[in-house]
């Protein structure tokens, strides 16, 4: 099993490294969105923490969707998708591609989130909850997003169509993710509930999303 995952993962990460503007773009998109909102709302220091959970999570969701259309597009264009699909372990290949997408978009954003949290006047426990919720939640966004990306390969309206398809399906992740951070501000006892629910979603998504993505890839690449 690992013999398929790692070569694909390595290849995708290498491609991302050689093309590192892509990583930087989606990370800065996240930062710019998160920074724009306090400017436009003109909030005071005391109200900012209340806004932080929802805003950071919306920005993470948008940033994850922004980079989705590249997930399979290049492989489709240069024909390597055919190779990937003809292998006996499509599931592992897809899982590796999803992992690579998360390492390139979700992880940087998660790593920088404590700094964003500081700017939103969060502290201590709240920062760590924000970090953990993104760490567990953003892989789910990549998983669900991959299904949408696989369905829309090679379509003219691809990138906006992905958003239309994937955003409603991502609502639970966003709800529980932001609820965890909100709970860390209001009722710290409940934080664990949400983090566990997010983890449950991650497990379910890791099992089923590669299946659905592989099916969608086969349909799109017929």
Partner 1 sequence: MSFNWFKYSSPASFYGISHSIIKAASIIAVILCLLGLYWGFAKTPNILTDQKEYYRILFVHVPVAWMSMWLYITLVFWAVIGLIFNTRLSYMMAAATAPTGALFAFLTIWTGAFWGKTSWGVWWDWDPRMTSMLILLFIYIGYIALQNSITDTRRADRASALLALVGVICIPVIYLSINCPDPYQCAALHQQSSLKKIESNILIAMFIMLFATWAYSFAVITHRLRSIILEREKRTQWAQDISKDMT
Binding site for partner 1 (CB under 8 A): 147, 151-152, 155-157, 161, 164-165, 167-169, 171-172, 175-176, 179, 183, 187, 190, 193, 201, 208, 212, 215-216, 219-220, 222
CB nearer partner 1, residue 45 or residue 222: 222
CB nearer partner 1, residue 114 or residue 172: 172
Shortest reach from residue 166's CB to partner 1, in Å: 8
Shortest reach from residue 36's CB to partner 1, in Å: 24
Shortest reach from residue 92's CB to partner 1, in Å: 20
Main-chain phi, psi angles of 108, to 5 degrees: -55, -40
Rounded Cα distance between 79 and 37, Å, is 41
Shortest reach from residue 21's CB to partner 1, in Å: 28
H helix runs in the chain, sequence order: 2-18, 21-41, 48-66, 70-78, 80-86, 90-101, 107-119, 125-151, 158-169, 171-186, 191-220
Rounded Cα distance between 111 and 156, Å, is 34
Shortest reach from residue 215's CB to partner 1, in Å: 6
Rounded Cα distance between 165 and 153, Å, is 13
How many CB atoms sit inside 10 A of residue 85's CB?
17
CB nearer partner 1, residue 32 or residue 155: 155
CB nearer partner 1, residue 120 or residue 176: 176
């Amino acid at each position: 099993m690992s013999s398929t995952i790692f070569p694909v993962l390595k290849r995708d990460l290498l491609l991302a490294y050689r093309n590192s503007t892509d990583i930087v773009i989606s990370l800065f998109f996240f930062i710019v969105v998160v920074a724009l909102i306090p400017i436009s709302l003109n909030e005071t220091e005391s109200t900012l923490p209340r806004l932080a959970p929802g805003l950071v999570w919306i920005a993470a969701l948008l940033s994850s969707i922004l980079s989705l259309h590249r997930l399979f597009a290049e492989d489709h264009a240069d024909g390597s998708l055919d190779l990937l699909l003809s292998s006996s372990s499509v599931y592992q290949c897809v899982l590796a591609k999803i992992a690579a997408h998360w390492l390139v978009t979700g992880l940087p954003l998660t790593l920088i989130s404590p700094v964003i949290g500081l700017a939103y006047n969060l502290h201590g426990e709240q920062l760590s909850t924000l970090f953990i919720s993104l760490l567990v939640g953003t892989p789910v966004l990549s998983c669900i997003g991959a299904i949408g990306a696989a369905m829309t390969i090679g379509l003219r309206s691809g990138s906006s169509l992905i958003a239309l398809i994937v955003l409603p399906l991502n609502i639970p992740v966003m709800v529980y993710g932001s609820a965890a951070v909100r709970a860390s501000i209001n009722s710290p006892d409940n934080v664990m509930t949400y983090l566990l629910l997010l983890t449950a979603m991650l497990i379910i998504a890791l099992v089923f999303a590669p299946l659905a993505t592989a099916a969608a890839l086969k349909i799109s690449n017929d």
